[in-house]
Structure 1
Amino acid sequence: MIDFRYHLVSTVAIFLALAVGIVLGTTLLQDPALDLAKKTSDELYNANNGLRADLDALRGREAGNDTFIAGMTPEMVAGDLTGQRVLLIDAPGSSTAVREAVQQVLDQAGAEVSGRVTLTEKFLDPKGKGVLDGLVNQLKPVNMIFPATATSWDRAAALLSATFVTTDQAQSATPNPATADVISTFEAGGLISTEGDPAKRATLAVMFAPEKPYEGENGEIQAGALVSVAGGFDLGSKGTVLAGGAAGAASLGDPVALLRDEGEISKRVSTVDTADTPVGRVAIVYSLREQLSGRAGQYGIGKGASAPIPVDTSATPTPTESGS
């Protein structure tokens, strides 16, 4: 008869055998497993060092290119915008440093900056469309007619562009008497602020997109409002460029990317997504020259860009030869 002591001894023996097996198995596998782990770690370490070296080399090359372009910029843009007045438009969240650097290059190109208009967050707030519409209806000239499909920002852009820019070179540097109260009323309403003398109209405009795409439930609406403003200023002037930095990924709140997706507006308004670099600032000047000739393009390194800079910067389109 098998008693309890036999069961106990048998059970202990089984567990002891299992323990011995685990110990032996671990010992046998320990060296190969450690060797594989060490080999993988070494490979990752070497690959990381290689990537760091490549990154450092690229950064060094970029810095060298930037230094070269910055040094050559005065010669590259000299006289390109002589006789033109340029209005600068800041969007909420745009970079002061980028705008100041662009203004310096515009000066080197011979342009005169008429002034600066800063759009406020209140201007872009969808909840304030009623106020915006009311002011536009109150201040617009009687002969200003809006399309039935025009949004609140389309209408506001038309009124602001009539105030700040013109397509007529002879009217450059003169105020528009039909919109005399627009600036003071929009400023009093907290919708814009101004610097310089932008009431003396410009012939060209550069709008600066926010450094980071707008986020949240209203991000796309706010970006779309800026696209409307850029489109409106383009219609009222000899040309408009929307300038910003290349977004790391596609975003509905990125005005530059959104404008490039707007078929009709992208045919008229130029964009530059490298405004924070020396070559991007040259591209802005070249884009304005291209606008003067009735052309537009999308430039930079981001999605939708056709080239880093415009290839042909002549103000007069090359005539097409007719066949015999």
Structure 2
Amino acid sequence: MINFRYHVVSLTAVFLALAIGLVVGTAALNGPVADSLSDNVNALRKDNTQLRETVNSLREEVNREEDFVAEAAPILLADKLAGRRLLVVCLPSGRDHAEGVMAALDLAGATLTGRIDVQDKFVNPDNSVELLELATAAARPTIPTTGLPGNSDGVETSSALLASALVDREEPPAVEPADLAALLDAYGDAGYITVEQEVTGPAEAVVVVSGQPYVDRDAAKKDAAVVTMVVQFDRVSQVVVAGTGSSDGNLISAVRNDPTLNQSISTVDNGNTTAGQSVTALAVAEQFTLDQAGHYGLGAGATSLMPKRPE
């Protein structure tokens, strides 16, 4: 009969076998297997170092190219926009590179008539009715609601009203400075726009500074509202969009994919870079000299890096 002592001896033998196995296994790993693992780790470490050096080299190359463009810009842009009056309209997504775009326009000799920053509230679909009411309340004797779109779209109506006040008119009367100030104050006080640079008068063309599309639950409606706003400015003036990328929902993409808009609105999809900002100024000049739109940059739908020199 198997007694308790037998069980103890059996368990002791099992644990002793496990211990011997661990010792033997560890010894084996400390040999060829351990050497192989060490070699693989060292190889991966070297690869990681090389990749890091490559990334640093590419970053330095990009920085040097940007420096080159910055130094060449005064020569490239000299007097391209001399005597031209431009309005800058900045979307929330374009704030980070708006100053760079404005600096390039200044280098080209343009006179900036002002900068208007459109707030997120302006394109929020919940505010359409309020925008309609505001357009009626903000209208002035020389900025009437006559001729504005009548399809109950607040963004469209308010954009058309602002465009009629901020851009040159083909027919009189001219906008009175007091009426213009009152209109901008009305939209500013309501939180729809911010006047970042004082508006001194009407512009000949508009540069819209944009960025990436919206990503919230109302993204599609907000992106569509941005296009609606730009279309209203395009109806009364020449427009160039300086944006970032050309992904779906992006203003750049929306313009390039529209067979009508891409014939009248110019786009630059790398407006967040020094090169793209210089190209933006050249695209505006092309609108004036050739009366045609172009699409420039690195993204889908771009025809070239920059406008061709007129022959």
Is the shorter-chain TM-score for this pair beyond 0.5, marking a shared fold?
Answer: yes
TM-score (ref. length: structure 1): 0.79
Deviation at 1:307, TM superposition (A): 3.0
Partner of 1:146: 149
Partner of 2:111: 112
Alignment of 1:1-324 (within 5 A): 1-95=1-95, 98-137=97-136, 139=139, 141=144, 143-146=146-149, 148=151, 151-166=153-168, 168=170, 175=175, 182-194=183-195, 198=199, 200-210=201-211, 213-237=213-237, 239-246=238-245, 250=247, 252=249, 254-292=250-288, 293-310=290-307, 312-314=308-310
The aligned amino acid for 1:269 is I
Partners of 2:19 and 2:197 in 1: how far apart?
Answer: 85
Partners of 1:206 and 1:119 in 2: how far apart?
Answer: 13
Partners of 1:44 and 1:257 in 2: how far apart?
Answer: 41
In structure 1, the residue corresponding to 2:94 is in which secondary structure? coil
Corresponding residue pairs, total:
303
Deviation at 1:147, TM superposition (A): 6.9
Partners of 1:127 and 1:291 in 2: how far apart?
Answer: 35
- Per-residue deviation, residues 225-261 of structure 1 (Å, max 9, x unmatched): 2222222212210x212223348xx474x44445445
State whether residues 259 and 265 of structure 1, in contact with CA within 8 Å, keep that contact through their aligned partners in structure 2. yes
Partners of 1:3 and 1:122 in 2: how far apart?
Answer: 86
Deviation at 1:206, TM superposition (A): 0.9
State whether residues 132 and 153 of structure 2, in contact with CA within 8 Å, keep that contact through their aligned partners in structure 1. no
In structure 1, the residue corresponding to 2:202 is in which secondary structure? coil
In structure 2, relative to structure 1, the CA distance for the partners of 1:134 and 1:295 (3 Å cut) is same
The aligned amino acid for 1:205 is V
In structure 2, relative to structure 1, the CA distance for the partners of 1:44 and 1:296 (3 Å cut) is farther
Partners of 1:166 and 1:196 in 2: how far apart?
Answer: 18
In structure 2, the residue corresponding to 1:94 is in which secondary structure? helix
The two structures, once aligned, show a CA RMSD in angstroms of 3.1
Partner of 1:321: none
- Per-residue deviation, residues 174-233 of structure 1 (Å, max 9, x unmatched): 5379x75533432343322335553621111111225x6544223443333222222221
State whether residues 145 and 161 of structure 2, in contact with CA within 8 Å, keep that contact through their aligned partners in structure 1. no
Give the gaps of 5 or more residues in structure 1.
319-324
Partners of 1:111 and 1:104 in 2: how far apart?
Answer: 10
In structure 2, the residue corresponding to 1:154 is in which secondary structure? helix
Partners of 2:263 and 2:34 in 1: how far apart?
Answer: 62
In structure 2, relative to structure 1, the CA distance for the partners of 1:147 and 1:262 (3 Å cut) is farther
- Per-residue deviation, residues 39-64 of structure 1 (Å, max 9, x unmatched): 22212221122122222222222222
In structure 1, the residue corresponding to 2:114 is in which secondary structure? strand
The aligned amino acid for 1:208 is V
More deviation, 295-304/130-139: 295-304
TM-score (ref. length: structure 2): 0.82
The aligned amino acid for 2:195 is T
The aligned amino acid for 2:295 is Q
State whether residues 128 and 153 of structure 2, in contact with CA within 8 Å, keep that contact through their aligned partners in structure 1. no
State whether residues 256 and 271 of structure 1, in contact with CA within 8 Å, keep that contact through their aligned partners in structure 2. yes
Deviation at 1:136, TM superposition (A): 2.7
Deviation at 1:137, TM superposition (A): 4.5
Partners of 1:116 and 1:166 in 2: how far apart?
Answer: 16
